[in-house]
Amino acid sequence: MGCGSLAGRDLLRRILEQVKESKWRLLKLLRGLAIFIVSALMLGSYSAYILYNKLDLRFGLRGFEYMRPPLPTFQQIMFSRTIQIAMAFGVIALVMFLMLFLKGFEWKFISLITLILHSFIILIIFTVIQIPIAFNIPKVSYIVVDARFENLTLYNATLLGISPEGPVKITSEAVSVNHAKVYRGFPNKTIPEWFRLTTRGDVERVINQTKTYMNLTSVKWVEKGVKRTLEKLSVSSWSWDRVVFSNSVAEQCVRMDYEIGFLERLMGLLSLSSWAVVAAYNAIGFKKLYQASKFYSTLTGILIFIILLMIGMA
């Protein structure tokens, strides 16, 4: 009777210990998930601050000079950052699972996911470090030299150009356009190699040597009470009082001030370093969790960082 009672107590104690251990593992997993969510929120907010306060973006296209290119909304920035963080999580998990498979280690799935989630605390720390730096960096100026527009309306417009039917002149109180491709090019319509320009003087010189070209699709206007439509129009000369559009996509931007200051370089270095430390954190955790060799753990960290670098995270 006494032996049975002792056995029952041992069994109950083991069950309670397992429940306690499971509860603790679940709490650590939830803590890791909270860290992951906070890192995404902080990175999104940090990116929004930089975009809205430290970026001076303007059109370098004739007719659009006095308009501001639309910036992503805060919700769009947060969504984009969340997707990037999720991709980073996926890369780290994929590399670790591959290394586990190659060595035949026990999966320890929950513990591994918990480790990866906790590694994002590094991003929180580095973001906090970068915040005071971001407050003190000067604005950076960019001009858009190639863009696509959707659903344009040109008011009190005059357009001269070439359509598949021949030369066209349009004069109307309102001209609607479904799509427009607007870009700067040389007189022979070749596009400058903007990426080769390294100084403000180079950019200004090329801007002076180029002109704005505009290709329109689905052009509609009213002429003498008659509705007219052109499917395509390559415009060579134009004027209007006002232009509105529903959306625009900047396909090529050029930096106007190429002198990168110390604080901006430091921010770039910290951003790169943060992902290197994330990779190192996971490599160290991998070594402790699976009792892996130093070489194998280091290789795991290097692979994580390289792939993050390849997909543009680092």
Question: What value does the mean pLDDT take over residues 278-306?
Answer: 93
Q: Cα separation of 137 and 257, whole Å? A: 13
The domain boundary residue, chosen from 255, 274, 294: 255
Predicted pLDDT at 184: 94
Domain closes at, from 215, 237, 255: 255
What is the pTM (predicted TM-score) of this model? 0.79
Whether the per-residue pLDDT at 1 is higher than 50: the answer is: no
Residues 162 and 123 in one domain: no
Q: Three-state DSSP class for 249?
A: strand
For residues 225 and 289, membership in a common domain is answered with: no
Count of domains for the chain: 2
Check residues 2 and 81 and name the one with the higher pLDDT. Answer: 81
- CA angle at residue 245 from 241 to 247, to 5 degrees? 155
Whether residues 14 and 133 fall in one domain? yes
pLDDT of 130 over the 70 cut = yes
Tokens for 61, please give them.
């296209």
Question: At which of 216, 235, 255 does a domain end?
Answer: 255
**Are 179 and 75 within one domain?**
no
Does position 200 have pLDDT exceeding 50, yes or no?
yes
**Cα–Cα dist 125/128, whole Å:** 5
- Same domain, yes or no, for 238 and 212? yes
Same domain, residue pair 69 and 211:
no
Amino acid at 102: L
Q: Find the range with the poorest average confidence among 1-5, 45-49, 148-152, 249-253.
A: 1-5
Taking 50 as the threshold, does the pLDDT of residue 237 lie above it? Answer: yes
On whether both 52 and 100 belong to a single domain, the answer is yes
Whether residue 149 sits in one domain with residue 109: no
Residue-level pLDDT at 105 = 79
Residue 92 and residue 31 share a domain = yes
**Within this chain, do residues 236 and 270 fall inside the same structural domain, yes or no?**
no
What proportion of the chain, given as a percentage, has pLDDT over 70?
Answer: 92
Over residues 134-139, the mean pLDDT reads: 90
pLDDT at 18: 54
- Determine the structural domain holding residue 114 and report its residue range: 2-137+261-310
Could you tell me the pLDDT band of residue 101, with boundaries at 50, 70 and 90? confident
Q: Are 78 and 47 in contact (CB under 8 A)?
A: no
Q: Are 126 and 158 contained in the same domain?
A: no
Whether residue 61 is found in the same domain as residue 165: no
Q: Report the distance separating Cα 152 and Cα 178, nearest Å.
A: 6
